[in-house]
Amino acid sequence: MLSYQATKILSYYQDLDLSKWGYGKKNLSVKAKKLKDDEKNVATPLKRKQDVPTCHLEKKRLPLMNYTSHERRYNWTSRRPEFSENYPCDIRSLGNEEKRELLANIEQAVAFVTTMIFQDGSSQLNSEQALTSSVKGIVILVKNQTDRLCSPSYSSSDRIRNAADERDKLIYLKTECSSLWEQEEQAHKKFAWRVLFQMMRRKVPVICFNAKDFLRTVLQIYGNEISWKQVADSVVLDPRIAAWLINPSDTVPSFECLTEKYFEKSFSMETENTDTGTLRNASVSSLRLLLLADTDAYSYLALQVQGLWKLFCTLELPLIKILAGMKPAQNKTLHLFHTALRLKELEQEAHQIAGERFLLTSSSQLREVIFILLLLTKLSLSKLQDLHPLPKIMLEYRQGFISSTWNQTGTVTGRISSKHPNIQGISKHPVRIVKKQYIKGKEEEIVTISPRALFVSKKGYTFLAADFSHIELRILADLSSEPELLKLFQEPETTDIFTTLASQWKGIPSEEVKQADREQAKRVVYSVVYGAGKERLAECLGITPLQASHFIESFMQKYKKVNEFTKKTIEQCRTKGYVVSIMGRKRPLANINAQDYKLRTQAERQAVNFVVQGSAADLCKMAMVEIFTSVVTSPTLTARLIAQIHDELLFEVEDSQIQEFSETLVKFESHDYFKLTSIRNILHYNLSI
DNA sequence: TCTATTCCGGACCCA
DNA sequence: GTGGGTCCGGAA
């Protein structure tokens, strides 16, 4: 009934062929054999950071980027030669002829390796991610076709002298605008835009560590010139995502850590020049970018060996661009606040009162702000100074938009996480706020407010929420092949699924199922699946543990295959050391064979949960990719993703396109799970597919 | 001994 | 029972 074929995903990555870029097939298979042995390491008890296949010296000889003797560069014990000519060339210093040459170069490049440079001189490759520092520029290594490495005349000494091929170009694009109004600056920006535009238009790899941040920045800076649809055209590769797939529990591997893991020795950057004012302090040399390219290449080797390649190409890589192009949501209250702030006197007051510093990123503090705004509408503005002190940081939120950060590698199960604020954690239900007023003689005021309703779409646009219905239960039904459970989903969804389930389970007509029965059924299902004990279930349901265990037993009796499924999953995990989702996502569970009962049973629950939760994440990502590609390839559609709440996708759709967009959704392969539930703001409808 | 920062567990929200 | 983020207060 349900098919999990992922092969039909329309994606630019579909035809991703390593050999085209010098990942020789011959080499691959040889290396693959060696890696196979390492694969076993996954299941062995981990020293925490070492659950990535360890690499040995010979693996340094990577087939990528055509340097036969480049391993010499990884001889860390020897002194690194100076590569002064390999520091970036600022494109502003180029003459017209050189610019033309560069563009021609880009047209023929086989790959690009790139990183952002921050204000403080650090790059994306530095371990301390400079979150405070803003972006200063972009360094790009333009790799050109060089087949001559096959030629024996190209000696290693040549290679050492020119770490990068001489036809490779290392360029620097300044992005910070000091004096935007100057004509010269404008011309530079335009040329930088052209370089980036052409780079992304080419269907060759753009290798970047933390590619999402890179793309987002590009969109931010050149938002007027480069649309998110054009960014979607690029073929970005991110070794960090690869590393996360191989070892999902290591959620923040730095570039240094990765090179250490893959190439054994750490690559010290002590020789980096710290001068200021010159481009040398860009802390990026072609050497470093080549190392990034090699890290990238090595990751893919490991991905292929572990069977993660397809998952990587069909889901994770396209997702980078989707997350990069996600639109910040406009918040009604912040917008109002902005409007209010525009009033001159109020702005002054705001500055005066501002003393207490707090972030808007927390929901409770957000509520405070909301409350202030509610008061604003009721009270005269002159009384504002008597109210809560206003945060300075508020000024940053003037536009009234909330843009949270979406993290692709933040979970072990393959789900996406969000922070600042955590949009996925915003309360669904109305919140009660009791606020003391600092105005003499006024009583306390209670306000209820629905935090989600505060997000509003642009004028002329509508929020469209599309979500999976009971996705985890469906996956469970499918994976366990439990006939009774499958029957639930074969019938058209006329009544509530848990009501039907309760009637089926208890053998009573669905009309007689009470709310309490339904609740029980729901709880029991999830408890049994995820291995909750009778005590926990009893606590949830407000019954005695004895009654709870009766429930569990009768459920197991009725749906035998579910129990078989969990047992099978655990068994498989014991022998292999890891569990696999429907799309082949892996989670190593070292404790599955532990002596300690507590640790072992926890690993068992995690194993079962991963298969279900991870598979659900896979399907949701598939939907995201499919919807995204169909919007991108459509000449008319402009729908943009606002948020992803695990099994729900929130889009902002042009009013005139609602029909067309809805029809697009219907086509998806995952449609067995997918349905539109609601469209806020204007429309409300329920569409069962 | 006091103050300031950092860390960690627990509580809450979400799926 | 699993997977997240954020807040808070107490310990270091």
* Interatomic separation, CA of residue A335 and C1' of nucleotide C8, rounded (Å): 29
Q: What is the C-alpha to C-alpha distance for residues A199 and A222, in angstroms, rounded to an integer?
A: 14
Burial of A500 (C-beta count, 10 Å sphere; 0-12/13-18/19+): buried
pLDDT at A366: 52
The terminus-to-terminus CA distance of chain A in angstroms comes to 14
Nearest nucleotide by C1' position to the A602 CA atom:
C1
Distance A231 CA to B10 C1' (A): 43
- Give strand letter and number of the nucleotide nearest A419 (CA to C1'): C5
Beta-bridge partners for A648: A467
pLDDT of residue A49: 32
CA A647 – C1' C10 distance (Å)?
37
SS3 assignment, position A128: coil
SS3 assignment, position A410 = coil
Q: What is the rounded CA–CA span in Å between residue A378 and residue A224?
A: 39
Paired tokens of A482 = 């439990």
Query: 3-class SS at A273?
Result: coil
Residue whose structure tokens are 């996925």: A424
Query: Which pLDDT score is estimated for A261?
Result: 78
CA of residue A187 to C1' of nucleotide B5, angstroms: 47
User: What are the residues whose beta carbons fall under 8 Å from the beta carbon of A539, sequence distance 6 or more?
Assistant: none
pLDDT at res. A667: 72
Task: Determine the residue type at A187.
Answer: A
CB A632 within 8 A of CB A585: no
Question: How many whole angstroms separate alpha carbon A236 and alpha carbon A233?
Answer: 9
Predicted pLDDT at A340: 53
A361 touches strand C (CB under 7 A): yes
Amino acid identity for residue A303 in this structure: L
Helix axis angle for A545-558 and A560-576, nearest 10°, is 90
In this predicted structure, what is the pLDDT of residue A496? 82
Which positions of chain A have pLDDT values less than 50? 1-15, 17-85, 147-164, 266, 268-282, 341-363, 365, 374-397, 437-438, 677-689
A153 CB burial (10 A radius; 0-12, 13-18, 19+): exposed
Q: Which residues contact A270 (CB under 8 A, 6 or more apart)?
A: none
* pLDDT at residue A132, as a whole number: 59
* Residue A72: Cβ within 10 Å count: 15
Q: Which amino acid is at A660?
A: E
pLDDT given at position A4: 26
Which of A261, A246, A400 has the alpha carbon at shortest distance from A334? A400
Q: Cα dihedral angle (A654, A658, A664, A669), rounded to 10 degrees?
A: 110
Is the shortest CB-to-strand distance from A403 to strand B under 7 Å?
A: no
Take residue A424 and report the two structure tokens written for it.
């996925």
Q: Return the structure tokens found at A423.
A: 């949009």
Q: Which of A484, A519, A483 is nearest to A502 (CA)?
A: A519
Q: What is the reported pLDDT for A332?
A: 73
Integer Cα distance of A258 and A292 in angstroms:
9
Query: Which of these, A222, A236, A290, A318, lies nearest to A625 by C-alpha position?
Result: A318
Rounded distance in angstroms from the CA atom of residue A663 to the C1' atom of nucleotide B8: 49
* Burial bucket for residue A114 (CB in 10 Å: 0-12, 13-18, 19+): buried
- Residues 407-426 of A, Cβ under 7 A from nucleic strand C: 407, 410-413, 415, 417-422, 424-425
Residue A162 Cβ < 7 Å to strand B: no
How far apart (Å, rounded) are the C-alpha atoms in residues A598 and A102? 61
The residue whose CA lies nearest the C1' of nucleotide C4 is A417
With distances taken from each CA to the C1' atom of nucleotide C1, the closest residue turns out to be A532
Cα gap A272→A553, rounded to integer Å? 65
Q: What CA–CA distance (Å, rounded) separates A48 from A320?
A: 27
Using C1' positions and the CA of A413, the closest nucleotide is: C3
Which A residues between 535 and 574 have a beta carbon under 7 A from any strand C atom?
535-536, 539
Q: Which nucleotide is nearest to A363 (CA to C1')?
A: C6
Nearest DNA or RNA nucleotide to A530 (CA to C1'): C1
Query: Tell me, what DSSP letter sits at residue A95?
Result: -
The answer to whether some atom of strand C lies closer than 7 Å to the beta carbon of A605 is yes
List of long-range contacts for A419-424, beta carbons under 8 Å, 24+ apart: A419/A361, A420/A361, A421/A360, A421/A361, A421/A362, A421/A363, A421/A366, A422/A363, A423/A329, A423/A643, A423/A645, A424/A643, A424/A644, A424/A645, A424/A646
Counting every residue written for chain A, the total comes to: 689
Question: Cα–Cα–Cα angle for A619, A625, A631, nearest 5°?
Answer: 135
> Rounded CA gap, A432 and A364, in Å?
11
Nucleic strand B under 7 Å from the C-beta of A645? yes
Can you list the positions of beta strands (E) in A53-104? Answer: 89-90
List CB contacts of A416: < 8 A, sequence separation 6 or more: A319, A323, A406, A407, A408, A410, A617, A621, A644, A646
Helix (H/G/I), strand (E/B), else coil: A201: helix
Strand B–CB A424 distance below 7 A:
yes
